Structure 1
Amino acid sequence: MRQATGTIEVETGGQGLAEVTAAVSRWAEGQRMDEGLLTIFCRHTSASLLVQENAAPDARSDLERFFARIAPEDPSLYAHDDEGPDDMPAHIRAALTQTQLSIPLAGGRLALGTWQGIYLFEHRRRPHRRTLALHLIGE
């Protein structure tokens, strides 16, 4: 049994879903393991991770609009606004999604479905540099 750890830096363009499947896959395949389990961890409290539809752009924009409705940027709703009106809604959106994913490695590749992609979900309006911590255990 072997283990590997690493990080991937993701530049976001502001709020929305940024696909990171290719970068994560390259890293995992570069570890030269055939079978295992990859854990991806988002090291931020105002961004999250999703496995989501990667073929239809409407699926991503529908998700983005849905989260804007359930955690709106309305200053009258929140006390916490240390970094602006998008601060607390970003934390709520991250709490409703995931900060870590576990994806099997099979045959040296991530065992994602045909239409699945890995996304960093940026919940803040301005662009950020986000770090994803990676851990692969396998053989």
Structure 2
Amino acid sequence: MSHGFETRTLHVTTGRAESVFDLTAECEAFLAEVASGRDGLLNLFAPHATMGVALIETGAGSDDDLLAALHTLLPADDRWQHRHGSPGHGRDHVLPAIVPPHATLPVIGGELALGTWQSVCLVDTNKDNPQRQVRLSFLG
């Protein structure tokens, strides 16, 4: 079995509101093109200082619950040393310490090996920058 490395950069518009943006379909499409039924690893990396990658259930309220929890942990107020941008923007720069900007996921037979309710999501609280990139890399 040959091993290879494939990578691609996705361009994502997350919008001007805080969001949990589901990337599962984009990850699956990427793997359909490059994994050829192989086992391996999919790595996602968001090269931004103000967003993260999370595995979370979407569509049942968990995405809103996550944003609410982040508001409790990281209030959008004037307590932050980092003060450029929208009010409270300093908390966006702390977010990646809680929701890391990367994830490495198992791929079995060319498909993501996620749990029943897991989706691959970007967590973006930065309302100042809706244009984002995510690097997908498959090693298998």
- Give me the TM-score of the superposition, normalised by structure 2: 0.91
State the distance in 1 between where 2:42 and 2:6 align: 9
Match of 1:54 in 2: 58
Structure 2: runs of 5 or more not aligned? none
Cα RMSD after superposing both structures:
1.3
Could you list the per-position Cα deviations for residues 93-136 of structure 1 after superposition, in whole angstroms to 9, with x for gaps in the alignment? 22211111001110110111111000000111245111011111
Match of 2:4 in 1: 2
Could you list the per-position Cα deviations for residues 14-35 of structure 1 after superposition, in whole angstroms to 9, with x for gaps in the alignment? 2120111101110112102411
Alignment length (residue pairs): 136
Match of 1:45 in 2: 49
SS of the residue corresponding to residue 133 of structure 2 reads strand
8 Å CA contact retained: 1:8, 1:24: no
State the distance in 1 between where 2:139 and 2:96 align: 26
8 Å CA contact retained: 1:52, 1:118: yes
8 Å CA contact retained: 1:86, 1:124: no
8 Å CA contact retained: 1:72, 1:89: yes
Structure 1: runs of 5 or more not aligned? none
Change in Cα spacing, 1:91 to 1:127, as seen in structure 2 (3 Å) is closer
- Give me the TM-score of the superposition, normalised by structure 1: 0.91
Residue identity (%)? 26
Match of 2:24 in 1: 21
SS of the residue corresponding to residue 94 of structure 1 reads helix
Matching residue's letter, 2:73: I
TM-superposed deviation, 1:47? 0.9
TM-superposed deviation, 1:66? 0.8
State the distance in 2 between where 1:26 and 1:39 align: 14
Q: Say whether 1:68 aligns with 2:71.
A: yes
